[in-house]
Amino acid sequence: MSPSNTQLPPRNRGGESKQPKGLQKKKKKKKSAFKSFLKFLLVVIIVAVLGVAGYVGWVALKVDKTILDTGNDNPVAPEASAKVKPITMILLGTDYRPKTGTHLTDVMMIAAFNPDTKSATVVSIPRDTRIELDGKVSKANAYYPYFLGKEKKSGVSALDEMKTMFSKYLDVPIDYATVINFQGFSDVVDALGGVNVNISMDMCYKDNADGTDINLTKGPAELKGEDALGYVRYRKSSSGCKPRTKESDDFSRNMRQSEVLHSLIDQMQTLSGVAKLGKVIDAVDENMEIDMEQIQLKNVISTYWNISKDNVKFMPVTGNWKSPYVYIDNDELDQAKQALKDEIAGKSVNLKDQNASNLIP
């Protein structure tokens, strides 16, 4: 019975209470114990709230520190803020690791973000795509190290060169560029405790020169950093593998990249993922280069932090392999161009109802 019930008879109606005194004391103790429990519960709630508030504040400091170390301090006009204006970015994943020292871009994605629809479209380009630039023909993944080698002489940054080249290639303006190396990718996965994937086939590749050791078995798996890196990189088996495993083309790699990115989004948006955000920020800070303004990076984080994976549309562009290049399917390329333009224009909504083949479950 509730202690606030006002229908209880008064204690002294018509004289002395008929209840034994001992019973009265017992009831009083129960009431006191209940109040104590409420006080205890209130203290726990307050401590929990303060703890969360403190943690959020700590994360904000971490983000601020990372941004100060990563972005530039140029101003951003209010109308150009990512909070109100769609932005585009080229995302490059290089094979750089201390053991190799190389900068080939094995991952190339162009992303458009829209703040009104809280959605994004990501187009991935095969690393072996044949691209001709100023009379020079090369694989797409070779241009970033080529531009790096020219930076001092040309005075133009490799990131600016990549933005210019892919803006022409995809017929959309590219605002920003970011590069993250393989070590950073591996560290981010480890910071989140691994990613869940469904491995489509056995994969084995060993290379003593750079320490690569891919040994994955077909089926559902939770992969840690190095194994997740091997999963998205795997191309073919090596002589050190017995038995040898099937080869994988650029298009399958792009699908695996999308699968892992979706899994990372899932991980980040769990309670445990939020608790690991500090480690993720540290992993990114040490292994990423970005040409975005510091304040704009804050705008992006605050606007798209809780983006739903259902509102992230991946479009891997495919084509025909004819050694040593991939010749892109023009119809798919045109669809990718249009998808990026639609995202910028705010037309990319209700992504769940679109072609399911473009989404990784």
Out of 105-109, 139-143, 308-312, least confident range = 308-312
- State yes or no: pLDDT of 215 exceeds 80: yes
Instruction: Return the domain boundaries, the chain.
Output: 71-352
Neighbours of 320 (CB within 10 A): 9
Q: Do strands 87-94 and 176-181 pair parallel, antiparallel, or not at all (unpaired)?
A: parallel
pLDDT of residue 106: 83
DSSP state of 263: H
User: pLDDT at position 61, please?
Assistant: 52
Residue 314 · residue 82 · CB < 8 Å: no
Note the pLDDT of residue 269: 67
Question: What pLDDT shows up at residue 41?
Answer: 57
Q: Does pTM surpass 0.85?
A: no
pLDDT tens string 265-300: 777 766 566 667 777 777 777 788 889 998 888 888
Cβ distance 206 to 214 under 8 Å?
Answer: yes
pLDDT at 12: 47
In terms of C-beta distances under 8 Å and separation of at least 24 residues, what long-range contacts does 251-255 make, across chains too?
A: 251/126, 251/316, 251/318, 252/200, 253/126, 253/127, 254/124, 254/126, 254/316, 254/317, 254/318, 255/316, 255/360
Strand partners, 138: 131
Average pLDDT, the chain: 79
Min mean pLDDT across 7-11, 19-23, 72-76, 232-236 is at 7-11
Q: Is the model's pLDDT at 329 over the cut of 50? A: yes
The backbone torsions φ and ψ at residue 19, rounded to the nearest 5 degrees and listed phi first, read -80, 140
* Predicted local confidence at residue 309, as pLDDT: 78
Among 151-155, 221-225, 296-300, the least confident range: 296-300
Domain 71-352 maps to which CATH number in 3.40.50.720, 3.90.550.10, 3.40.630.190, 3.30.70.100?
3.40.630.190
**Rounded distance, CA 41 to CA 47, Å?**
10
Higher-confidence residue: 91 or 287?
Answer: 91
Question: Per-residue pLDDT averaged across 131-153, rounded?
Answer: 92
The pLDDT score that the predictor gives to residue 5 is 43
Residue 77 predicted with pLDDT over 70: yes
- Considering only residues 245 and 288, tell me which one the structure prediction assigns the higher pLDDT: 245
Query: Are 291 and 179 a contacting pair, CB within 8 Å?
Result: no
Band the pLDDT of 345: cuts 50, 70, 90: very high
- Residue 160 · residue 150 · CB < 8 Å: no
The amino acid at 200: S
DSSP 218: S
Count of alpha carbons within 13 angstroms of residue 91, beta-carbon side: 17
pLDDT value at 17 more than 50: no
Tell me phi and psi for residue 347, to 5 degrees: -95, -5
- Give the pLDDT band (50/70/90) at residue 118: very high
Residues 6+ apart with CB under 8 A from 93: 105, 106, 107, 108, 179, 180, 181, 182, 185
Whether cis (ω within 30° of 0) applies to the bond prior to 316 is: no
Q: Is 155 left (phi over 0), alpha (psi -120 to 50) or beta?
A: left
Which of 227 and 261 is assigned the larger pLDDT?
227
Per the listing, tokens 């209010």 go with: 78
317 within 8 A of 124, measured Cβ to Cβ: yes
Q: Is 346 left (phi over 0), alpha (psi -120 to 50) or beta?
A: left
pLDDT of 64 > 80? The answer is no
Q: Which of 11-20, 72-81, 204-213 has the lowest mean pLDDT?
A: 11-20
